[in-house]
Structure 1
Amino acid sequence: MNRTISTIAGGALLLTSVASGAQAGGLERGGYSWDLLFNNGTVATDAGVTHVMPERRIKNARDTDPSNGPGFGSTSVDETPSYNVPRWSGKVGITPEFDCLASYQQPWGVHTNPGYAWQGNASNIETEITSNDYGLTCSYKWQVGPGFLRGIAGVSYQEIEGFKTRMVNSLIPLSGAFPGFDGTGTLDIKGDGWGWRAGVAYEIPEYEMRFSLIYNAEIDLGEVNGTVDLTEIPRALASARNPFLGTVTDVYGTATLPQQLEFKWQTGIAPEWLAFGTVKWTDWSVLGVIPFCPTVTKSLGSCNPSSPFRLTSLDLMFQDGWYVMAGIGHQFTPKWSGAAQISWDRGTSTGLTTQTDTYLLSVGAQYQPNKSWQLQAGAAVGMLSSGSYGPTACEGNQACGVDAAYEFGDDFVSALSVSAKLKF
């Protein structure tokens, strides 16, 4: 029975990574995974990569802010390029009851690249955020009734960096009066912080049953530092209204990455058959308007959405995210098993991003040639639901989403994932 848990649940873990990589909630990319902690080997390692191919296409784009010059270019563009999500984890059973897991993940990230020549370039030309999470998670289990109760706790060090480029003054490239300048501006940011997690799990190996509930605390990045580069606009155009044109300005802000609560379950339903599922809540609403102010103004007051010193901002205004998944797995032979699952991720957009509801069907197979090795491959296909970008109520009595307007329809998303696991 334990062997069936190991083989089928391993395939289910792969499908979870496929779905996490392809879902569209907030800035979620690879999400968190601590499942290897439950592996019954003394030493186990797991490494894999998911390749995601979203096909989000923006339609009917138009420039709605005449103050930065007229829009130019296409009204329809592809927004999101393909991307990869790597992961690695290693588990050691220190005693029969005490296990620890070291992990590297990329839980958060986004990359949109509609380009320079489209009507909405005042809102975005290219935005990319990446993350690195280095975690250590341990558990202790003891027998309770017919199974084992497990207490779980851990910490993570997390790094975040990214940039956003947009059109600041389209009159510069359109007029031709300033050769060599394209009128864009770029915000670069970088931050880091520590987080923790705690949870419980109950397992009954005889029935291939496990229930787990893990809380991942929010990560306070504290002061996020960066620069605003406006050197693509001639310094001669600087004025009292915007003295930063033509320069690179050091800026700072503050941000918090969301807390998360995840419930997972699995249970045997017949010989060689396993059912499993997940319900997850993520507090994406902590990311509203993230202002950035010149560092030289730090002593003059806090940098908040209403600050008179605000130079730029990342306007997200997310709502909380929910993710629900259910699946079934089957062991066909001692070496081969497979699994399939369906999932829904509630969109976190309130009108300032294209991250709407995502529906996925994922399938995967696992080959285990011996007790030590497992090789896995999975695929997912799904739909990104339709929506629009435009004026949205936001923090600090500031108008958000007034720079452009556009729509997007129901779009296709697909993903592929491969991984290998070694245990002994």
Structure 2
Amino acid sequence: MSSSIKKIIIGFAGATILATAANAGGFSRGTADTDILFEDGNFNMRAGVTIVNPNVKYDTINGAAASDGKYSDSYAIPNAAIKLKLHDNLSCAGTVTQSFGAGATYGPEAVAAGLLTGHGVKSEGFTSNELGLTCGANLAVGPGRAWVIGGLYMQDFDYSQTVTLNARTPFGLSNTDATLAFKDEYRLGYRLGVAYEIPEIALRAQLLYRSEVHHTPGVDVGSFTTLVRAFPAFGEGTLPQSVELKLQSGVAPGWLVFGSVKWTDWSVLDTLNYTIVGPAPVFGNVTELEYAWRDGWTVSAGVGHQFNDNLSGQAALTWDRGVSTTEDNLRDTWGLAGGVALSNDSKTATLSLGGGITYLSGGSVAQQTVAHNIGTIEEGDSFAYTSKGSWAYALGGSFKIKF
């Protein structure tokens, strides 16, 4: 059994990463490919990209049927890792991915509904890229090997929101666009973990913690730009910590089962606070973008099979608990993803391809009925809306070499 199981492992790390991003809860996107630490070889490199196309739109706005198209933007997640085996008991890996992100472009009906309360959001989104270095030390324990994993990563933050202002603004201009933007420098975080594996039967259990990162973009990199002038702006917000347990094992010649449970501390993101520097009473006060999220849970399970010496495949089911409570519409998702891995005879090169489909639950959000108070989450949004269940699609590929 050991020979065929080891061949399955060759392509699965890359194939499993593909196509599951549409299931990620909250603003989660890519995950650093630290699994490359466990792979055979003195030098391993894997690089790939996943394209995700969610299709979320409003079904009704303020009780009336909506005709706007989808507002959820498609996106691409890069993922790359290079591992060096420094010693029989020590390996280190450099990783690159886009850890968090979101993007939306709203139609004219949604913009008009927002204008009724002061401004209509035309588009908004952010990205947070991660550069990491993680090492793993191992030693023989019983029939297998025990690992201690640790490392540092740097994460940036780049946010932008464009709104249409109505005639009640101090600028005295009707339907004038303005853009709020922040760009924070790379901030330091860390990851720690433990693992135990028995390579002969492809058994591995791994527990990995990733720290939160607090971003505080200052006035030198924040702005609120209008037709009249650009005002400095600054803000703060926290992206969450997470803990993930991953399990896998060979169960029969040519067969592997795997699964994971991940907790993400999305409840840390009650608000994103910002201040636009300018004359009172319009500017100079703290303003909040409200989220009021709860913690997220993501559970997945799958099976892999070795078809022949060069071709393996896998399929996985994923459920993610939606993080929304009262402010927006990020509900539960259910997804199915699959992938294949094709390697050359010497197993020095592997091509992985994957695809997936995810069902995104619908829901409703009420309109705020009381005045907004800073520091207090008010239930609802600037306008009421409902969304039906929708589908997201993902395609990805990666290429790996080893020596």
- The answer, yes or no, to whether TM exceeds 0.5 is yes
**Secondary structure at the residue paired with 2:9?**
helix
Task: State the AA in 1 paired with 2:300.
Answer: M
Instruction: Determine if contact 2:19/2:50 at 8 Å carries over to the other structure.
Output: no
Asked if residue 164 in structure 1 is aligned to residue 139 in structure 2, the reply is no
Which residue in 2 is equivalent to 1:375? 351
Shift, 1:379, TM fit:
0.7
TM-score by length of 2: 0.89
Instruction: Determine if contact 2:204/2:248 at 8 Å carries over to the other structure.
Output: yes
Which residue in 2 is equivalent to 1:303? none
Shift, 1:231, TM fit:
1.7
CA 148–169 in structure 1, closer or farther in 2 if over 3 Å, else same: same
Shift, 1:3, TM fit:
5.0
Which residue in 1 is equivalent to 2:89? 97
Structure-2 separation of matches of 1:135 and 1:268: 30
Aligned with 1:350 (options 278, 300, 325): 325
Which residue in 1 is equivalent to 2:105? 113
Task: State the AA in 2 paired with 1:375.
Answer: L
Shift, 1:31, TM fit:
3.0
Asked if residue 211 in structure 1 is aligned to residue 213 in structure 2, the reply is no
Structure-1 separation of matches of 2:7 and 2:62: 52
Task: State the AA in 1 paired with 2:287.
Answer: T
**Secondary structure at the residue paired with 1:57?**
coil
Shift, 1:185, TM fit:
2.7
Instruction: Determine if contact 1:193/1:221 at 8 Å carries over to the other structure.
Output: yes
Structure-2 separation of matches of 1:387 and 1:170: 32
Instruction: Determine if contact 1:19/1:343 at 8 Å carries over to the other structure.
Output: no
Map 1:64-75 onto structure 2 (within 5 A): 75=67
Shift, 1:15, TM fit:
4.3
Shift, 1:384, TM fit:
0.2
Which residue in 2 is equivalent to 1:334? 309
Deviation sequence 1:84-112 (CA, Å, 0-9, x none):
11111000000111000001110100011
Map 1:367-406 onto structure 2 (within 5 A): 367-370=342-345, 371-391=347-367, 396-397=375-376, 399=378, 401-406=380-385
Shift, 1:224, TM fit:
5.0
Shift, 1:391, TM fit:
4.3
Structure-1 separation of matches of 2:259 and 2:131: 26
CA 2–49 in structure 1, closer or farther in 2 if over 3 Å, else same: farther
Task: State the AA in 1 paired with 2:105.
Answer: N
Shift, 1:223, TM fit:
4.4
Which residue in 2 is equivalent to 1:324? 299
Task: State the AA in 2 paired with 1:184.
Answer: D
Which residue in 2 is equivalent to 1:264? 246
Shift, 1:37, TM fit:
1.2
Which residue in 2 is equivalent to 1:421? 400
Instruction: Determine if contact 1:63/1:403 at 8 Å carries over to the other structure.
Output: no
Which runs of no fewer than 5 residues in structure 2 stay unpaired?
Answer: none
Instruction: Determine if contact 1:387/1:409 at 8 Å carries over to the other structure.
Output: yes
Which residue in 1 is equivalent to 2:51? 51
Aligned with 1:76 (options 58, 68, 73): 68
CA 405–391 in structure 1, closer or farther in 2 if over 3 Å, else same: closer
Structure-2 separation of matches of 1:348 and 1:123: 24
CA 375–404 in structure 1, closer or farther in 2 if over 3 Å, else same: same
Structure-1 separation of matches of 2:379 and 2:183: 23
Report the more deviating stretch, 111-120 or 201-210: 111-120
**Secondary structure at the residue paired with 1:58?**
coil
Q: CA RMSD in A?
A: 2.7
Asked if residue 274 in structure 1 is aligned to residue 274 in structure 2, the reply is no
Aligned with 1:409 (options 377, 388, 402): 388
Deviation sequence 1:338-369 (CA, Å, 0-9, x none):
00010001111123233211110111111011
Deviant stretches of 4+, over 4 Å: 223-226, 391-395
Deviation sequence 1:214-249 (CA, Å, 0-9, x none):
0011112244554443524xxxxxxxxxxxxx3322
Shift, 1:202, TM fit:
0.1
Instruction: Determine if contact 1:291/1:310 at 8 Å carries over to the other structure.
Output: no
Task: State the AA in 2 paired with 1:132.
Answer: N
Asked if residue 188 in structure 1 is aligned to residue 181 in structure 2, the reply is yes
Which residue in 1 is equivalent to 2:129? 132
CA 312–230 in structure 1, closer or farther in 2 if over 3 Å, else same: farther
CA 400–55 in structure 1, closer or farther in 2 if over 3 Å, else same: same
Task: State the AA in 2 paired with 1:163.
Answer: S
Structure-1 separation of matches of 2:267 and 2:276: 25
Structure-1 separation of matches of 2:36 and 2:56: 33
Task: State the AA in 2 paired with 1:374.
Answer: T
Task: State the AA in 2 paired with 1:406.
Answer: Y
CA 186–6 in structure 1, closer or farther in 2 if over 3 Å, else same: farther
Q: Could you tell me the percent identity over the aligned residues?
A: 34
**Secondary structure at the residue paired with 1:353?**
coil
Which runs of no fewer than 5 residues in structure 1 stay unpaired?
Answer: 65-72, 233-245, 298-307
Instruction: Determine if contact 1:97/1:142 at 8 Å carries over to the other structure.
Output: yes
**Secondary structure at the residue paired with 2:384?**
strand
Shift, 1:63, TM fit:
9.7
Report the more deviating stretch, 112-121 or 373-382: 112-121
Instruction: Determine if contact 1:93/1:100 at 8 Å carries over to the other structure.
Output: yes
**Secondary structure at the residue paired with 2:200?**
helix
Which residue in 2 is equivalent to 1:241? none
Structure-2 separation of matches of 1:355 and 1:216: 23
Report the more deviating stretch, 342-351 or 267-276: 342-351
CA 101–5 in structure 1, closer or farther in 2 if over 3 Å, else same: farther
Structure-2 separation of matches of 1:407 and 1:12: 39
CA 123–30 in structure 1, closer or farther in 2 if over 3 Å, else same: farther
Report the more deviating stretch, 109-118 or 277-286: 109-118
